[in-house]
Amino acid sequence: MSVDSYRVQRTGQQTVVTLPADIDVTNSGRIHTVLLQAVDDGAAVLIADLSATEFCASAGVQVLTHVHHAALAAGARLRVAAPSSMVQRVLELTGASHLIDTYPSLAAALAGPPVPAGGSGPAAGSLSTEGPGGGWLATHTGDDPGSYVAELAVAVL
């Protein structure tokens, strides 16, 4: 049995965690632990570098969403850097792209806007994104800041 390891690089208030080519149920727990540890270690900006990631299953999206909420609760921000077109599509289809800051490259994520005092982000409780014919609604479901249920609402015309 091998233990997954991920490159973690901290510079000042920013921490970059380089994630693997595939993110799925087999490694999402370890990724979750590594990302949360960076938040616990005081990163004001946590960058999940997906430049090498070609596949991200729903377990990976769930990890990113939970870490996003944990970062906000700690006064920090999660930035997702360089998702491939496939991973970006998964983030869009799940509604996570409306919740998590994504950047086209690691350099762009590193140069992103500074974190406001006390952090910022969507209001706690829900996030709604609407488009023609429907939209996503994510609703907080309990005490855990990462416990959200996403619902797709589609208008029948």
CB-CB contact of 19 with 53 (8 Å): yes
Q: Is position 31 within any domain?
A: yes
- The CA distance from 98 to 9, in Å, is 26
Q: Which tokens belong to 19?
A: 């994630």
Report the run of H or E that residue 90 belongs to, with start and end. Answer: helix 85-94
Count how many domains the chain has.
1
User: Which amino acid is it at 36?
Assistant: L
Q: Is position 37 within any domain?
A: yes
Structural domain containing residue 14: 8-121
- The CA distance from 152 to 44, in Å, is 32
Q: Is position 38 within any domain?
A: yes
Q: Is position 151 within any domain?
A: no
Q: Is position 47 within any domain?
A: yes
pLDDT of amino acid 13:
93
* Residue 59: CATH number of its domain: 3.30.750.24
pLDDT of amino acid 9:
96
Average pLDDT over residues 12-26: 96
Q: Is position 134 within any domain?
A: no
- Mind listing the pLDDT tens digit for each residue in 31-73? 999 999 999 999 999 999 999 999 999 999 999 999 999 999 9
Q: Is position 78 within any domain?
A: yes
With H, G, I as helix, E, B as strand and everything else as coil, classify residue 85. Answer: helix
- Mind listing the pLDDT tens digit for each residue in 64-122? 999 999 999 999 999 999 999 999 999 999 999 999 999 999 999 999 885 444 333 33
Q: What is the CA radius of gyration of the chain?
A: 15
- Mind listing the pLDDT tens digit for each residue in 137-150? 444 444 444 444 44
Q: Is position 90 within any domain?
A: yes
Query: pTM score, two decimals?
Result: 0.72
pLDDT at 127 over 90: no
